[in-house]
Structure 1
Amino acid sequence: MCVAKLTKQLSWNKTINMGKFSTMSRFPKQHISEKFLAEQKKETGNQLYKAEKYQQAVTYYSEAIDLCPETASYYGNRAACYMMLHQYRDALEDVRKSVSLDDTFVKGYARMAKCALALGDVATAENAIAKVKELEPLNASILVEANKLDSVKRFEEEGHKAYAKQDYRKVVFCMKKALEDAPYCTRYKLRKAECWAFLGKYQEAQEIANDILHVDKQNADAVYVRGMCLYYQDNVEHAFSHFQHVLRLAPDHKKAKDIYKRAKALKQKKEEGNDAFKAVRFQEAYKLYSEALSIDPHNDAVNAKLYFNRATVSAKLGRLNESITDCTSALKLDETYMKALLRRAKCHMDLENFEEAVHDYEVVVKMDKSRENKRLLQDAKFCLKKSKRKDYYKILGIDRNASTDEIKKAYRKRALVHHPDRHASASDGEKKEQEKKFKELGEAYGILSDPKKRARYDSGQDLEESDGLGGDIDPNSVFQAFFAEPGGGGAHFNFGSSFPGGFAFQFG
């Protein structure tokens, strides 16, 4: 573009002071023309900068640099535009160039401090701040950046310590605080994303990694974080491809190497455990699942399945309490794991922990209202109701399949032991205990010796609500009736005893 044409285009700058170029008379005419054009470009850029048209201003500053590449202020001005456009890496490159051309360029060092701080480049920010203080000891504006830098350094150090202790929530907090003053620090963002992955916040972690990869497709750490999320969500094959890609981008990436190694070991050990289980080698399967659980404590998705698999093995081996413990561990890692809930509920049923079983089945039904799940809950509630009744078979000390004769023999033996008259000289507390047992024996015999009552009792019906069949039973009446039967025994009764029921018992 010729000087005349440029001057015409920039009518507002026609009166530019040419005196500033008088010192250039010793330079060739071509150089004077280039400097004049460069200054025109800079002035146009300045006007655009003031009008907040930063991208257009960059174009003019770039043209000025092309004309006079050794002028520090042009790089400084373009850096200011890049900063307004949040292109801090480009800005940092420009200010580095500006201070290399003029090591007394205070604005260049001040802008370097701002750019380095925004990018989380602590060392560069420190050096730039120190240089400003050296060149202009009374420069007050740099104190703002110095305070921000101190804050960033503090949170970075605290985050580093928390990471070493695997306190990932604190790391996330520290990185958030550091990013308030270093908002374009990729390193802080990825450290936060990595810790989100450790904490199971996979969507948050992936969003950060994806944003970084959108700008920098070759960022190995961002690819690593995406691989972590896939691995921890049990998408192993896709995770493997990500870790392999990381190692192609950065062959010495230690974290990628370590997690890739763990992922392969975990996959292999889990498959070996599954093979042993299918081959009915339960002890071996239990051992292999236990070994797999020690490989990676952060992989909740896989570890939940491993705990469930080991719980299944324990149930097969009859170790129901161990099975319950492993199911509980699986549910801590994945509270929606229905198979673990069903397995734990079944173990509770087998152990007659009916209240716990009902609770688990209720959770299952909320998750899946299938007919089968509703039936399981109904059965558990029925068993719970039955369990709260007195166990008359246990009171008599007989099996549930006991015959009528076995019921009579059991009653005779225990009634004679617990009859209150036999404990007339005992303490008040002992008397009450024997009276209670004697009454329960009468209830048990009264129910189990009657075929209809026994059938209703066995079916779980509430006897007190079934035509009065389970109403209050007088233990003395049962006792008298029993021993009045042929072959009932050699007992003799004298009424008038102080024992409730009004008879005295004498052993023959």
Structure 2
Amino acid sequence: MADEAKAKGNAAFSAGDFSTAIRHFSDAISLAPTNHVLYSNRSAAYASLHKYSDALDDAKKTVELKPDWSKGYSRLGAAHLGLTNFEDAVSAYKKGLEYDPNNEALKSGLADAQSSASRSRAAPPPMGNNMFNDAFAGPEMWAKLTADQSTRAYLQQPDFVKMMQEIQKNPSNLNLHLKDQRVMQALGVLLNLKFRTPTSEDTDMPESSPSPSSPPERKRAAEAEPVKEPEPEPEPEPMEFSEEEKERKERKAHALKEKELGNAAYKKKDFDTAIAHYSKAIELDDEDISYIMNRAATYLEMGQYEECIKDCDKAVERGRELRSDFKMIAKALTRKGTALAKMAKSSKDYVPAIETFQKALTEHRNPDTLKKLNDAEKAKKELEQQEYFDPKLADEEREKGNEYFKQQKYPDAVKHYTESLKRNPNDPRAYSNRAACYTKLGALPEGLKDAEKCIELDPTFSKGYNRKGAVQFFMKEYDKAMETYQEGLKHDPHNQELLDGIKRCVEQINKASRGDLSPEELKERQAKGMQDPEIQNILQDPVMRQVLTDFQENPKAAQEHTKNPMVMNKIQKLVSAGIVQIR
């Protein structure tokens, strides 16, 4: 049971759902409270959510349960570093290096901790220094940008990296790049103005826990260091070979030749011949699971999925006995999942394939495996929708929803509209009706989403525009609501509901223009307006800032600005948002 909960936690961690991962790891810990790997994995999940105090508690427990495990000290150092306990972080990394002196992850962590500690001991900067200097100083800047989901992808973009390097060299250069939304996002992350949920790429996969009967623990994807190949042993002199050793070397060499012959036959699509060569290689050398893997791949190409699955299971079992590279284990599981997914096209059961791909991801987080998992989950969902699809029952559920709507029983109406959409997800009427229910219940974001889906399914359906405009009106986005009503009139020019909607929007906009808003209303509208990215862009536009200055100080220039429709449109948006008042 603990292994099952841990596997679910690893799968959630791989998908970037760290809260769910924590829940599963906690379930596993309750079943196996002395398993140090579970605490290590949960510590990594806590750290990914910036919950460094909880991460520290789990890291301490990891070290307590297995003091000679270097990975525990890596977790401990990371937690201390997140809490800015730099000296403690240095001590933790140094302790880990005592057990594993060549661990690159510990070396890198120690370097960061020492750098942070030295800066923390430095004298504070003069009061006149730029407030952003510390945010862009040192390697922590890159670490924070890498750890945050919203900025990690930017580090693959050369122009963004160049901008950040310029800012790091001279923080006053920040003003040159403030218009770039990526830089603004990065600034928010560095100043801790807004926290974002990290993705699965923030940290590597936590490693699986070995069972008591399993061989010594293999390195997992949670370890940042590369897999180390065993160093070749020096070859003894020929005369020192025993007969048994000579025979063993000959068998291995023969097996390798059989594999090469199998590969050549596979490329020619002579699968039967390839199977024969791979089988001979397996018979000669049972210590190399690549021969089994190759035969499984051949069975997969031949459509003999059951045989492929048997070979994959054999490769996993033998690989664990031989302590093979975890990437090979993951590859075998992925190949098995692929065979199961092929079989699911006729069996209609994608669950075994999905579970197998998830197991593969706990061994090694591979983009190809993740894609196969997503495809299998998508196919499962589509199959369920196809089996559930019934337009007739959908219409019946929609009518039941209509009856409850008339009785003002909106939650019940939502329930039936939702069931209608499950039966027929392409009915714009059900989306329109559910949007109306959500509006009545004050669930405006949900109502807006349904109205937009309704318009997407049928751009000529005027009800969809009316629903969307109503939601935007109640959200006090009067300009946007008017645009929606006007778009609807293009398809239905005489629709009275759309015309009435425009009238209401004009009244509210004119009210703001005349300055008839109460102080409370004005304050609320201004606060809402400042959250609108479009309003923010207008206020940051140097041209518009000059226009606003001219309206206050230069009437002649202001008169010229009124002749520019684009400028006046932006002015009107500012007026509607309560940012600007015209007297």
TM-score, structure 2 length as denominator? 0.28
By relative contact order (CA 8 Å, sep 6+), the higher-ranking structure is 2
TM-score, structure 1 length as denominator? 0.31
Larger radius of gyration: 1
